[in-house]
Amino acid sequence: MFEAIREKKKILLFVLLALVIPPFIVVGAWDQISPSQEPVVASVDGVDIYKRNWENVHQDFVTNFKNRVGASVPDEMLNSNELKRATLDNMINQFILQKVVSTSRITVSDSDVKTIILGIPEFHDDNGTFNLEKAKKVLSRQGMSTIDFEKRLKADLSLALIPEILNTSNFVPRTLVRKLARADNETRTFGVKLFSPLRYKNKVNVSTKEVEEFFSANSSRFVIPPTYDLDFIVLENDDDLEEIGNLLYEENTSLEPVAEKFNLKVQRISKLDINAPAIVKGDLKNNALRALNNAKFRSELFSDDFLIENYNTELIQVADGLHIAASLAKKYDAVPMKFEVVKDQIKSEILFQKMNRLAKEEANTALEDFKADDKLKKSLKNVVLSFRDIENQNEDEYSQLLRQFKGDLFSHQFKINQVQVLDLDGNGAALVLFVSSKLGRPSSKLVVESLQNIFGIFSRVETDLVVKAWLRDFEKQMKVDRYLNVLLKDSAIAQ
């Protein structure tokens, strides 16, 4: 099939199914399962899911999620018990779907698979044309041949047909959709009074004793962070990637063997703070800086293997044709700051905390006065806020501020003529009066645009519910056991 695609002169732009799976690799968790003596976390229709297989799937999810949103997401969030159970349920659902697809002979045609392959951007050359040789290279880095990929893609597309088939039975109430479309374009008018901390500058002061006590209690904050000298290599092509990656793994404490064998230049960046971006130093080129500042590469620098064991990083792909690997050359420990250096900074921080506290106290006092004195309404600034986020809105600072609290301000519990205080964290507080509300006109352009979006949301939710109910029915026909006591024990991922 791949050979046939190469003969095509025109790329098909139509995509049959939306593949929401990380870099065009199907979620074929079940082909990893093999008999072993490891703990079993679930059993489905006589087939066991071993804990190691589940850990691999869960770790893949965690890694892919971090690569998409950044490494700053706390591990405890991604390894919560709820998420662990959800990963296991997904594996069980995948098995049920595969079983139904197999027994019901649900499949997609070769031409449909070809259409999907043609639309994968990673298989295109610089001109946007499908390139067979590039596709083979990309797949080989994932340990797959073109035949393997076609089979797995076809199986995955067949699974995706189930929700599409069930979706045809959905019923979405159009009257409700119209009402929600109008509500989606509601505008509310508020009366607002800001209580800024800056107004209280002359009402507070800070003693030397307060500064000293703050420094003593928060000494861990006042340090120059550790820095590192890194040796690194940058590859600006896709040549010898597998061989280089293997040698980095075998000679895992130095880049020199790789550099010598493949004639690569080992570069160094000195005293890098791995929590801060690298900047131009010496003769570093743009691609080197781009690689050094890549989020996926930075996440590797935080690992114990790199910082404690002094192992090389893996060969990290930053972009098409751009890879980086690094080795730790030297570590500089964190250095405590002297009190004299930071005392003014501490004084300013304590001063602002006191100003901020006064601002919030006065806002709450004003709230009580407001209930008894209607004249205070005249001191409020009118601000019109729309529920729907519309691009290119010319919003003033008041609107931008209120938009952070849109969920509270557009709550059904917040009634006209009610007033509340919004806590602005380090920026004081705001007194807000709900003045009036206006719904979008049924025939207006914005309401019509919302109709399609809301209808789509309803349809997706309905499909999700139908699929879940459908899966539960099939689960009752199969023997499914979940061993949550085994699943939720500490695993290699959490250690």
305/314 Cα distance (integer angstroms): 11
- CA angle, residues 25, 158, 23, in degrees to nearest 5: 15
Report whether 323 contacts 235 (CB < 8 A): yes
pLDDT confidence of residue 397: 82
198/362 Cα distance (integer angstroms): 13
pLDDT at 257 over 80: yes
Decide: helix, strand or coil at residue 388.
Answer: coil
pLDDT confidence of residue 404: 87
pLDDT confidence of residue 99: 77
Contacts of residue 409, defined as CB under 8 A and 6 or more positions apart, other chains included, come to: 188, 190, 385, 402, 432, 434
The mean pLDDT value of the chain amounts to 79
117-142 confidence digits (pLDDT tens): 888 888 888 788 888 888 888 888 77
pLDDT at 283 over 80: no
By the 10 Å C-beta count (0-12 exposed, 13-18 middle, 19+ buried), 431 is classed as: buried
Helices (H), 32-80: 51-69, 75-78
pLDDT-based confidence at residue 477 (cuts at 50, 70, 90): confident
Residue (of 373, 417, 422, 378) closest to 401 by Cα position: 422
Contacts of residue 300, defined as CB under 8 A and 6 or more positions apart, other chains included, come to: 306, 313, 314, 316, 326
Report whether 179 contacts 426 (CB < 8 A): no
Query: For the residues 249-274, what does the mean pLDDT come to?
Result: 90
The amino acid present at 285, given as its one-letter code, is: K
Query: For the residues 378-404, what does the mean pLDDT come to?
Result: 79
pLDDT confidence of residue 59: 83
Which has more pLDDT, 81 or 394? 81
The amino acid present at 22, given as its one-letter code, is: P
Residue (of 319, 316, 263, 258) closest to 286 by Cα position: 319
**What angle separates helix 445-477 from helix 174-184, to the nearest 10 degrees?**
130
425-435 confidence digits (pLDDT tens): 888 999 999 99
Decide: helix, strand or coil at residue 223.
Answer: strand
Which has more pLDDT, 365 or 80? 365
What is the CB neighbour count within 10 angstroms for residue 212? Answer: 13
pLDDT confidence of residue 336: 92
231/254 Cα distance (integer angstroms): 9
pLDDT confidence of residue 84: 85
Query: For the residues 29-38, what does the mean pLDDT come to?
Result: 49
Query: For the residues 451-460, what does the mean pLDDT come to?
Result: 68
321-375 confidence digits (pLDDT tens): 899 999 999 999 999 999 999 999 999 999 999 999 999 999 988 888 776 666 6
